[in-house]
Structures are given as C-alpha cells and as structure tokens.
Chains A and B, each alone.
Chain A
Amino acid sequence: MVSTLKKNMAGYMAPPEPGLTAETLIARAVALRPALLEGQAAAEERGTYSPQMHKAFEEAGFYRTLQPQRYGGYEFDVPTFARMVMEVARGCPGSAWCLALSAGHALNVAQLFGESAQTEAFGVDGHFAAAARAIPSGTATRADGGWRLEGTWDYCSGVPYSTHVMVGVRIIEEGGAPQAAVALVPRSEWKMLDNWGDFIGMRASGSNSVEMHSAWIPEHFLVREDFFAPNISQGTEGARLHGNPMYAGGTLGFFQTEISSIMVGVGFAALDEYENIIRARKAFGPNAVLQSEHPDYQRPYGIALGKLEAARHAVVGAAQEYMDLARLSMEGKRTYLRSDDQRLQAGLQHAAQLSFEAVDMLYRASATSAAAKNGTRMQRYFRDISMARTNPGLQFELKAADLARQLFAERDQRQGSKQP
C-alpha cells in the first residue's frame, strides 16, 4: 500500500483557468442563480437546461470541479462540489440534477478506470461529462479485442450534455455466470432517446434513456466492478495516478452527496420563494398585516431555515468525511469500510429528508390553492422534490436495516466471533 500520494506533474493538461479557487467557483454558481430562476419554466419544457446555460456552466468550470488536474480539471474537493451544486439547485433544481449527475462522475471515472482509459476519455481538451446508470440494464460480450454492448438504460440523468455515459452491464461470457461490470461509453456509440419529461417534477433533469445497439468499446473502457460497491480495500489505481485519495472512496456516499446537495438546494430555493410570497401577501382576516409580519408565517420560515441549515451542514460534513475516510484508507491508517459508505449515505438521506420537510412546510404555509396553480415557482419546487423523493437512493428506511446488519457483521468479524 502506498502510504503517501505524490502528484506527478509530467504530461499535465492545464485547466482553462489555472488560478481558479473553490470560493470563486461557488460564487459563480451564486451569480448564475437569477438566470437559472428566469429559465426554470423553459428548462422544464425543454427537459434540460439551455445550450447557453451549458456554455455558462462550462465557462464557470463546473464540469471540471472534480476532474483530475492531470486532465485539465480543477480537482477541487467533494465539499466544494456539494456547495456548488446546492447553489445551482437554489436557482433551478432540475438543472442542478442534470448538471450534478453528469459533472460529478469525473470522480468515478478517475477512480474506477485505468490511465489509458482516462487519458482517452478526458480527451484532448479536457471537457468531460458523463451520465451514469449503475443498475445493469444491458450486456457486454467480447468482440474485436474489446466489448460489444447492447441494452437500454433508463433515467440517465444528465445525458443531454454528456460526452460519455457510465453504465452497469452484465458480462456474458461462455461458460461463466453473468458478471457485473461498469462500462464507459463515448457518445458516438449510443443514442439518447426522446423519452423524458412526462413526469411530475424534475423535468429539467435530462433523465432520458440511453440505447445501445452494437456499441463497441475498447477493452480498457470496461472494469469488472460493482458500481455500487467497487473494491477499494487496496486503494485505487486512479488515486495513485492522481496522487489524490479523493479517487479512492466508496460510491454510495458520493452518489448520495450529489443527490442530497440538490435536495438541500431545492429547500433554499423554496425558502427564497416563500419569502417573496409572504412579503407580497396579506394574512387572512380583518385588518390583516403582511404575512411576513405575522408570527404564523414567520414561524415556518424560521423552522425551515433551521432544518435547511442542519441539512446543509450534514451534506458538507458528510462530503468532508468522505474525503477524510478516503485519505485515511489510502494512508493505511483505517480501512474505508462498506459500513462507512452506508453510514455516509444514511446521514445524507436524512439531510434530504430534512429538506423535504422544509419544502413541505413552506409549500403548505405559503400555499393557497392559487399558489398551487400550474406555473408557480413554489408548486414547481414541490413537484421537483416530490419527484426526487421517489429516487431509490433516498429510501432511508429501506436501507436502514441493511446498514445495521452490515455494521453488526463488521463488528462481529473484528471481534472474531458472533454474539451468543
């Protein structure tokens, strides 16, 4: 095990702005919020953000937030990514979903794939974005020194502007049982289906399906790993290549960071809108004051803000713990356990739940039937977060017993014996 990681600066591709700081990146997301707010309805209609917004995200450096410096990225940390996504989501939840779930996966490519695949994938200009669908929904068979891929992957959020997709596949080999793997597939090899949008919310998330017919990828664009639980016990090749333990953490915690960052952003978006509403509207009854001056409307604001503050800290804290656990593991001081990953996920699920509670409270407190009409922003946030909550990753009760089982099993293993 490598105890210290060193950066090898040879062959580096310079990022567009070598001096860009994390704080500037986040400030740019804040600055884009008015345009995102303005574009919400059109983004819903389109099913994703506009080409102009894509260009703005690209120029702001968002797609390169977690991309290795070696390949023209900024290689900021996961907390920076989380904070950037929250700010974008505060401007437009669906757009943030589309952005986060393509921009974030530079981390997974840098983690799971070998140097040659990374060099080719991040390409000559270093622009990279990859929607990911981990559930194996297609097959890989040997062909021409590489892999032939067939299948359809639904809910590939972020795919409209993706240069690649990362998908779970089942390897079909003669004489062997099907085996799970992850394939990295460039855009030339697949087709995005026009089948996204007819959902309650998150319509701007670009969650189209991806179809592959006789797609082909070279040998090294496929790794025999479980996307939800890659083998990180010996560190990863990517972490050593980049000299950065960030590329050696578990995937559950990271994926959940993407989602929960968006969810917290939606909560703050709803809070902003709630303030707009109660400052403009009078309370009910005779001699009514502005709602913003009435305790029954101030209380939900305060409670929602409190929940959102807790949720925001929980997300940033979990993102930092992901970084710390990955580092300790690469340094050989403490193994990044499966239960660690599940534990991070659990905390992040509850951050999302807190945000939902906040949105639910604000929606109800601000809402009259008029506010629930089609086209209003509060209604859109409620639809967005409702849709997001159907995401399997947010089923905290479903995962809770799994977490307990895993944790107990690991403890039993450490103690060398089962409880009587």
Chain B
Amino acid sequence: MIDAEQARDRQRSHPASTAGGAIPAPELNLTPQEMIRRATAMRHTLRDRQAATEAEGRLLAQTNEEFINAGFYRVVQPRRFGGYEFDLTTYVRVMSEVARGCPSSGWVLALTSGHPIILADHSEQAQIEAYGNDGEYRCPSLGSPIPVQPVPGGYRVSGFWDFASGCDIATHIMASGLIAQEGAAPKPVLMLIDRQDYSIVDNWNMLGMQGTGSRRVVVENLFVPEHRVAPLAMWVGAAGDKVHPNPMYNGRKAGFFMIEGGAVLMGTARGMLDLYDELLRNKPMRFAPKTKLMEHHEFQHYFGVAQALMDNADAALLKAAQDYMDACTAQSEQGVEFSEEEDRRIFLMVQQATRLAFEAADRLFTTAGTQTGQSTSMFGRYYRDLAIQRTHFTQQMDRTAVNFARIHFGFAPLSPF
C-alpha cells in the first residue's frame, strides 16, 4: 500500500506538466493511412499466432511489442502527450483490421488504446501522471464499481474488478468506484491506478476471446488521491476538466465505448468472411460432381449476402464514429449540447450494426461444414469469439432501445446504457 505522502512523491516533473511542454510522438510524420496499412500488413502474422494467443490466455508479449512499435496504442492519444491524435474513423479502421487477424488481440488493443478518450475526463494532473515521461499509456477501464472509503486527500480502496481486458500489458487501470452520498445515490467514479498497485488473478476461462486475458485485478488498501478520481462519465454523462482543445476528447463516453467494441466485432466477422472466401475457393462439394464450393450457386448466394451484410455493418459503424465526432464538434464549436439522447442514439446504431455482422457470421458458420465446429478450427474460433462478444454487457439492445426512447420522449432512462 502507499499513503498520501508517497502518492505525492509520484507526481514527478513531466515534460507535459506545463502547457508549453509536450511529449514528442515517436514518429512525427506518421499518417492515418500508414497506420491502417500497418494494421492490414499484420493480419496474417496475427492469424498465425491465434492458437498461441488463445493458449496463453492473454495478449502475447511479442504482439504487444509490435503494437507499440506500430504506434497503435497512440492512435487517439493527445498530441500533447506523445500521441497521434488521429480521428475516430481511423481508430475504427485500425482496430477492425487488427481484430480481423486476431479478435482477442484486437480487443485488448481497442480497449486499451481507445481509453485516452475516457482518461480525458480526468484532471490535467492525472493525465500528466498517466502519460509519464514517454507517453506510454495502455489502460483498461473497469465497470462494476465497488464502494470506496473517503479519507483526507483522497480515497482508500480495497477490492477487485473482473474482466480487466489487457491488464497484463497495461500501464494503468481505470477502475470504477462508488462514493457514498448523504441522502442520495452513491456517486460512481473512475479511479486511475498504476500498474504497480494492482495484482492479477487469472480467472479468465471462456468459450472464446480467451486470448484477451480479461482477468481479475485486485487492489488492497490502496490510497487513491483526489485528483486521480473523475466522474464515471460513461454512466453519468458529465464531462471533466476539458483539458484538450480537440472536441473529440470532450464528448459523452457511452457511444464511444460502444464504438470501441463495435470495431473489434466488425473485424472479427470480417475475418470470418476472409476464411469463408478461402474455403469456397478450396473445398469441394461433398457429393458428385464434387466441384469447388465457389462454383455452387447457393454458396455464391451465401457469400454475396454475407458481403453485403458486412459492408452495411462497417458503413454503419463508421457513420456512428463520424456522428460521434460531429456531436463533439458541434458542442465545442457551436454550443450544441452533446445530449444523452444523441449518445444513446449512437450506441443503438452500433448495436444494430453488430447485429448485421452477427447475421453474416451465422450464415458463414452454419454453411461452412461440420469440421468448423472442431475446437482447433480457426473458423470455429472466430465463431466462438463472436459468441463471447455477443454477451458483452453493452450488447443488450433491448435495454438501450427502451432507454433511448424514454429519453427521446422526456422520461428518465431506467439504467445507464
């Protein structure tokens, strides 16, 4: 455990601690196109490593190194803190391409590299500490808040959070807590916690997405200073200190969170379509005349429809990413509120897009033959990965649909999301 004094000691002097100072990005001239190209180029290597990633139950260290070198973790990181500050559509494309090669690796990447946008609601001091001297920041965000104890200068925290995707390769976690309020519901917050202050329990044992290492993280009697605690914006919608001038950092967070998972899901389904394409070219029909599947009228139909479903799903996700950025910009530049209704509308749009991708994937899996059901089949692995993504708590579309409509008609939503 550390105390308040030690916590203050950690607030070292950083290059970015003054408004004029900044951490340089590793590659000053890196373009969005080049980053997307790198993600595409990595796909086959990622595919080759799928089985090993699954067996290891976490993002492979080697893959993590390559992601760092390619600059992926800095895709939407603020320029001031050594990031590339590309837009959300670039983010979506990079994450989808990586997930297309390996869904688990894509998931870890997307849910850690995207979180500079969540961190943006924290105080400037917290961000300065998070990015450190070199801008290395990989940070899962953890729901299921636990009660925290107010103490002078901050909070004392003991407990655990499950499903900490990427905790093994993370530099920090943002963990959720509840602060008791007199005569009111507890206030949900996100606490920035350093890697050295949490331990990992491997309780991740799943049908799919096994390579995400979404394990339990535990803190014991940890002091979290006040400046490292921010409102849980994803739930309450409140924006933080608006440290960054780029409007992308100052929007609501639920829609963005859904876009993160959506990007991975699109890549996963797209990866299945890649395999199906190969299968149709190579596999013969079981019965005479045993022509290749690609010559069969019905398989041509399957392929064409799956392609259309996937393209529509991708298009909807990119539209959602653009709508999100537009809502951020309109708020910052024209004073049009980024409303809760708009946030849920974007959330809902991504949920519907993922359903198109599920539909495509279902069609591919059920027509690809019984062998794809083998535990070692890569095709089967994509299906299993999707089956897990389907169960993510953000995928409860019924809930979001009702809550969106309630907000639209002026009623209070029944729950977050």
Check A372/B387 contact, CB under 8 A, given A200-B375, A365-B398, A390-B365. Answer: yes
Q: Please, which residue of chain B has its CB at the minimum distance from the CB of A388?
A: B373
> Do A364 and B390 touch across chains, with their CB atoms under 8 A apart?
yes
User: Does chain B have a CB within 8 A of A313?
Assistant: no
User: Does chain A have a CB within 8 A of B196?
Assistant: no
> Do A386 and B302 touch across chains, with their CB atoms under 8 A apart?
no
> Do A391 and B370 touch across chains, with their CB atoms under 8 A apart?
yes
Closest-CB distance, A194 to chain B (whole angstroms)? 15
User: Does chain B have a CB within 8 A of A300?
Assistant: yes
User: Does chain A have a CB within 8 A of B339?
Assistant: no
The stretch that binds A, out of B41-49, B94-102, B409-417, is B409-417
Q: How far is the CA of A372 from the CA of B389 in the complex (A)?
A: 10
Q: How far is the CA of A343 from the CA of B384 in the complex (A)?
A: 32
User: Does chain B have a CB within 8 A of A389?
Assistant: yes
> Do A392 and B375 touch across chains, with their CB atoms under 8 A apart?
no
**Most chain B CB within a 10 A radius of its CB, from A299, A365, A369, A386:** A369
Closest-CB distance, B411 to chain A (whole angstroms)? 14
> Do B416 and A284 touch across chains, with their CB atoms under 8 A apart?
yes
Closest-CB distance, B367 to chain A (whole angstroms)? 6
Closest-CB distance, A377 to chain B (whole angstroms)? 13
A395 proximity list for chain B (CB < 8 A): 366-367
> Do B374 and A198 touch across chains, with their CB atoms under 8 A apart?
yes
Check A374/B369 contact, CB under 8 A, given A284-B415, A286-B185, A364-B390. Answer: no
Chain A, 364-388, CB within 8 A of any chain B CB: 364-365, 367-375, 379, 382-383, 386-387
Q: How far is the CA of A171 from the CA of B417 in the complex (A)?
A: 63
B368 proximity list for chain A (CB < 8 A): 390
User: Does chain A have a CB within 8 A of B298?
Assistant: yes
> Do B206 and A373 touch across chains, with their CB atoms under 8 A apart?
yes
User: Does chain A have a CB within 8 A of B283?
Assistant: no
> Do A394 and B366 touch across chains, with their CB atoms under 8 A apart?
yes
Q: How far is the CA of A364 from the CA of B391 in the complex (A)?
A: 6
Q: How far is the CA of A201 from the CA of B387 in the complex (A)?
A: 13
Q: How far is the CA of A389 from the CA of B369 in the complex (A)?
A: 9
Q: Please, which residue of chain A has its CB at the minimum distance from the CB of B367?
A: A395
> Do A390 and B373 touch across chains, with their CB atoms under 8 A apart?
yes
> Do A390 and B369 touch across chains, with their CB atoms under 8 A apart?
yes
> Do B390 and A296 touch across chains, with their CB atoms under 8 A apart?
no
> Do B390 and A398 touch across chains, with their CB atoms under 8 A apart?
no
User: Does chain B have a CB within 8 A of A19?
Assistant: no
Check A199/B415 contact, CB under 8 A, given A367-B390, A368-B393, A386-B365. Answer: no
Chain B, 357-384, CB within 8 A of any chain A CB: 365-370, 372-376, 380, 383-384
> Do B390 and A397 touch across chains, with their CB atoms under 8 A apart?
no
> Do A369 and B398 touch across chains, with their CB atoms under 8 A apart?
no
> Do A365 and B375 touch across chains, with their CB atoms under 8 A apart?
no
Out of A299, A368, A374, which one reaches B391, CB within 8 Å?
A368
User: Does chain A have a CB within 8 A of B396?
Assistant: yes
Q: How far is the CA of A383 from the CA of B390 in the complex (A)?
A: 13
> Do B297 and A369 touch across chains, with their CB atoms under 8 A apart?
no
Q: How far is the CA of A3 from the CA of B370 in the complex (A)?
A: 43
A262-300 toward B: CB 8 Å interface, digit per residue (1/0)?
Answer: 000000000000000000000111101000000110011
Q: How far is the CA of A390 from the CA of B368 in the complex (A)?
A: 7
> Do B395 and A364 touch across chains, with their CB atoms under 8 A apart?
yes
Chain B, 191-231, CB within 8 A of any chain A CB: 205-207, 214
B299-319 toward A: CB 8 Å interface, digit per residue (1/0)?
Answer: 001100000000000000000
B395 proximity list for chain A (CB < 8 A): 364
B370 proximity list for chain A (CB < 8 A): 155, 390-392
Closest-CB distance, B136 to chain A (whole angstroms)? 28
User: Does chain A have a CB within 8 A of B8?
Assistant: no
Check A200/B162 contact, CB under 8 A, given A296-B402, A369-B392, A386-B373. Answer: no
Out of B286, B384, B388, B414, which one reaches A200, CB within 8 Å?
B384
Q: How far is the CA of A380 from the CA of B376 in the complex (A)?
A: 18
Closest-CB distance, B112 to chain A (whole angstroms)? 17
Out of B162, B205, B297, which one reaches A374, CB within 8 Å?
B205
A396-420 toward B: CB 8 Å interface, digit per residue (1/0)?
Answer: 0110010000000000000000000
A391 proximity list for chain B (CB < 8 A): 370
User: Does chain B have a CB within 8 A of A53?
Assistant: no
User: Does chain A have a CB within 8 A of B67?
Assistant: no
> Do A198 and B390 touch across chains, with their CB atoms under 8 A apart?
no
Q: How far is the CA of A31 from the CA of B48 in the complex (A)?
A: 49
Q: How far is the CA of A112 from the CA of B376 in the complex (A)?
A: 38
Q: Please, which residue of chain B has its CB at the minimum distance from the CB of A154?
A: B370
User: Does chain A have a CB within 8 A of B292?
Assistant: no
A374 proximity list for chain B (CB < 8 A): 205-207
User: Does chain B have a CB within 8 A of A135?
Assistant: yes
User: Does chain B have a CB within 8 A of A363?
Assistant: yes
Q: How far is the CA of A300 from the CA of B399 in the complex (A)?
A: 12
User: Does chain A have a CB within 8 A of B163?
Assistant: yes
Q: Please, which residue of chain A has its CB at the minimum distance from the CB of B205?
A: A374
Out of B163, B298, B373, which one reaches A201, CB within 8 Å?
B373
B298 proximity list for chain A (CB < 8 A): 397-398, 401
Check A285/B369 contact, CB under 8 A, given A296-B399, A370-B162, A392-B286. Answer: no
Q: How far is the CA of A382 from the CA of B388 in the complex (A)?
A: 11
Closest-CB distance, A166 to chain B (whole angstroms)? 19
A373 proximity list for chain B (CB < 8 A): 205-206
B398 proximity list for chain A (CB < 8 A): 296, 299-300, 365
B367 proximity list for chain A (CB < 8 A): 395, 397-398
**Most chain A CB within a 10 A radius of its CB, from B367, B373, B393:** B373
Pick 16 A–B contacts, CB within 8 A, sort by A: A198-B376, A200-B373, A200-B375, A283-B414, A283-B415, A284-B417, A285-B415, A300-B398, A365-B398, A367-B391, A369-B206, A373-B205, A383-B207, A390-B372, A395-B366, A395-B367
Other contacts beyond A295-B402, A296-B399: 13, CB < 8 A:
A155-B370, A284-B399, A285-B415, A364-B395, A365-B396, A368-B391, A371-B391, A379-B207, A386-B387, A387-B373, A389-B366, A390-B370, A394-B366
The 6 A-B pairs with the shortest beta carbon distances in the complex, nearest first, are: A285-B415, A367-B391, A372-B391, A389-B366, A296-B398, A390-B370
